[in-house]
Amino acid sequence: MAQSPLDVHVLGFADIDYLETDRAGVDDGFFLGQLVGHAAAGLSERTTFFAEVSATARPDEYRIEVERLILRYDFNDALKVSAGRYHTPINYWNTAFHHGLWLQTTVSRPEMIRFGTRFQPVHFVGVQVEGAFPATPLGVGYAVGLGNGRSEDIARGGDPGDVNNHRAWLGQVYVRPPSLFGFQAGGGFYLDRISPEQEELLGLSSEVDERILSAHVAWLRESPEFIGEYAHVSHELRDDGEEHESDAFYAQLAYRLPGRADDWKPYVRYERLDTSTADPVYAPFDLEYEGTTAGVRFDFTSLAALKIEYRRERFETRDWFNSLYLQLSLAFGETGGEDAPIIPSTDHGP
Amino acid sequence: MRRTVALALVSFAVLGAPEARAQTRGAVAIVVNPSTAVDDLSLLELRNVFLGERQFWGDGSRIVLLVRAPVAYERDVVLNRIYRMDESQFRQYWIAKVFRAQVSSGPKIVYSNDMTRQLVAALPGAVGFIAAGDVAADMKVLRINGKLPGDPDYPLR
């Protein structure tokens, strides 16, 4: 939508959680999730600035992080050029819900795209060209990006620069047919050369070429709601050409109940993350995962929800853990539109 | 002058004939700024515009979306027929749309048909909706699926 200069719009998200678990080393009890602020500012009719900042409770402090910071120029629907820090647009969840837990049906993200995971790059710093062709029958859209890729700590994006002077490329294509509102399907790729910090520790003598292929399908009309994603990660050691393949997927199904029960939405999710045990990039981090989630979301107002969720999960094919999560999540700020400008009356008659 | 005559003819087609006026009862007209180079949209194309999926007109000008505040009959028709959402879904949709950086703001909210009339006339690229019976002679009304609000099978009523 068009805006006048210095037109700023603010949104916020927050969550308050409770956990009971039999997983060793994880504290039970109440905890604060994230307080997230989002601002969108129209700098001109075609130039927009977006920012997302989070505050996360840590044992000794609140950690403030700039999650997204994007300056974008819109030439038209088919061509929008931007620079900044993004959530890597090769997955669906990562760019559909960001840090707004109230937007997502479940308490937390799937493990394969969890914040802080090392399986895939969650953040991306660089430039992006994107666009869509909404008038076409399939509603095709795309994004192409060039950026720093992963940092030495591969859980982080390359915010202070590219650690190995080898840029990452990414691309995504999706369809969103106008006749099937709520449906989206697509795929993406990500190419980078990474220099993980465990290189010396593991006796790695070279950097690693990383290739990621992903696919997703989503139907978000709520009765039912379905999201499924798959990602394949290939790591090739530069010195001897040794290759390691890893895969991850999840499938989530939810259903908004009809009639007077429409504040309730039960859901289930199954997910797996199969990493190569010999992959020196993943080996230190116990990424192998299998989990089943079942829960119900209760929207007690249009901007706040209570989620009650049971999760059974295991890491590295070890023992199963059982956890019960409760989450209050909410959104606040400008919602559903903004007041139109007042046009001075031109009537001068009696 | 030619544009004024054309607009007057369109408005007559919408409102002028008594039988047409009877058929506009309950119809919601889609109105655009007179400089907008579009006359006819399919319901799917209109949905794309109101959902913010399409943000530019064919001539490259940015679409300025005007939506009536609750509670108004015209808003109910647009939510039911175009958005296919209830109030809470509509609100959640725009929160997500802005948060995903797909748009920089939600629709501009207007509080009366008169306000819609003024803004559509004043803002290049503006598109809004108004009770067909309140369409003024100088307003540009879009055909939807080739139909004007006075036509049988007009989809927005």
At residue A205, the pLDDT reads: 64
Q: Is residue B65 part of a domain?
A: yes
Q: SS3 string of B26-64?
A: CCEEEEECCCCCCCEECHHHHHHHHCCCCCECCCCCECE
Q: Is residue B152 part of a domain?
A: no
Verify whether the Cβ–Cβ distance B94 to A335 is below 8 Å. Answer: yes
The β-bridge partners of B114 are none
At residue B19, the pLDDT reads: 54
User: What architecture is the A71-333 domain classified under in CATH?
Assistant: Beta Barrel (2.40)
Buried b / exposed e over A7-30, threshold 16 CB at 10 Å, is: bebebbbbbebebebebeeeeeee
Contact criterion met (CB below 8 Å) for B107 and B68? no
Q: Is residue B45 part of a domain?
A: yes
Query: What mean pLDDT is predicted for residues A31-40?
Result: 94
Contact criterion met (CB below 8 Å) for B8 and B137? yes
Touching A: B residues 122-151, CB under 8 Å: 122-123, 125
At residue A239, the pLDDT reads: 82
Going from N- to C-terminal start, the domains of chain A cover: 71-333
Closest C-alpha to A33, from A60, A6, A62: A62
Quote the domain boundaries for residue B84. Answer: 2-144
Which residue among A45, A181, A343 places its CB closest to the CB of B118?
A343
Q: Is residue B154 part of a domain?
A: no
CATH code at B110?
3.40.190.10
Q: Is residue B156 part of a domain?
A: no
Q: Is residue B93 part of a domain?
A: yes
Verify whether the Cβ–Cβ distance A336 to B119 is below 8 Å. Answer: no
Does residue A349 register a pLDDT over 70?
no
Does residue B5 register a pLDDT over 80?
no
Looking at the complex, report in whole angstroms how far the Cα of residue A134 sits from the nearest Cα belonging to chain B: 6
pTM: 0.88
User: How many domains is chain B partitioned into structurally?
Assistant: 1
Does residue B12 register a pLDDT over 80?
no
Task: Give the pair of three-digit tokens for residue A35.
Answer: 């307080």
